Structure 1
Amino acid sequence: MCAALSSCHPNASIQEPGQAYLQGEWQQQKEAIHQKLITYSLYHLKFSCDSFYVQMQSFSHVNSGADTCMRSGHWVEYAKGVYYQQNDTLRLKGYFTTANNSLKRQGGCFRSGIYDEVFKVGSKTDSALQLTSTSNVVPIHLQLIKRATCHPKPLQ
């Protein structure tokens, strides 16, 4: 029971607006540092209100798995879910998906199940953003490729 009406509110039945500066599509380009790494991923992120969609193109000079999965050192993984930001911490939480955004089944190549990534937001401008994953020391420099505006949709 609530002590005051102002502290109580029902679960929202509509999507949250998310962070205005993130709305749209962001692409990471290959940089000189990537040529020195054994394995790296390039991110394509799409933010729509409080939701995210991510495509991670991974490259490896070392084949540590079956070539049907590694595809000569290049593979792609996808995830979608919701995000939230607190201070300079951006958390993406969702599930690994297939290329058509359906839930990825267990087994097969690479990761499936829960996708949970935490980034520190570094420098940001209207068209550039730097994120640093808590699981990687190489910063992710993203360029805005398409700006969008949040139009919240009813939750299903």
Structure 2
Amino acid sequence: MNPDYQKPGIKYLQGEWKQDSVPAQKRLVTYSLYDLKFSCDSFFMKVSTVSKVNYGADTCMGSGHWAEYIKGTYTQKQDTLHLKGEFCTANGGYKDEKTCFRYGDYEEFFKVKQIKDSLIQFTSTSNVIPINARLVKRTNCIPKPL
């Protein structure tokens, strides 16, 4: 049976987090910046990518700038954060396979290190560039009905 309400999630993550830059950003051919929002046991993530290389149709690539969105739920065991969800539209709606870029399921594991109360480092198990995210807005979990 599914629960009637969201789970409370992890307190120190609750809120909106933003990555402003990546190390050696100006020398990279392609890089991504992350905006993350944690609300109770759910997350919403915007991945803004910048590329000096045209990988495909310019209607999707936006002259080297594009964004992808992901929503889902998360869990944390010790220092490992597990995000599981699906690619979606900017407003959280269903994204079908006819749209640009990735669609369908998303799953990622991150090593999480809280640097300060307002700075967290997420290190993906599939990427060498860490995400140093600063706290933009702290929120409290108010569980919503499912």
Give the TM-score, by structure 2 length. 0.95
Give the alignment of 1:7-156 within 5 angstroms.
11-155=2-146
Larger Rg computed on CA atoms: 1
Q: Which has the higher contact order (CA 8 A, sep 6+)?
A: 2
Identity %: 57
Greater shift, 76-85 or 23-32, is seen at 23-32
Once the two structures are TM-superposed, the CA of residue 32 in structure 1 deviates from its matched residue by 4.6
**Aligned residue-pair number:** 146
Once the two structures are TM-superposed, the CA of residue 122 in structure 1 deviates from its matched residue by 2.2
- Rounded to whole Å, the distance in 2 between the matches of 1:32 and 1:129 is 15
Give the TM-score, by structure 1 length. 0.89
Equivalent residue, structure 2, for 1:5 = none
CA contact (8 A) 2:75 2:82 kept: yes
- Rounded to whole Å, the distance in 1 between the matches of 2:12 and 2:106 is 23
Structure 2: segments with no counterpart, 5+ residues: none
Once the two structures are TM-superposed, the CA of residue 118 in structure 1 deviates from its matched residue by 1.2
* Partner SS state of residue 17, structure 1: coil
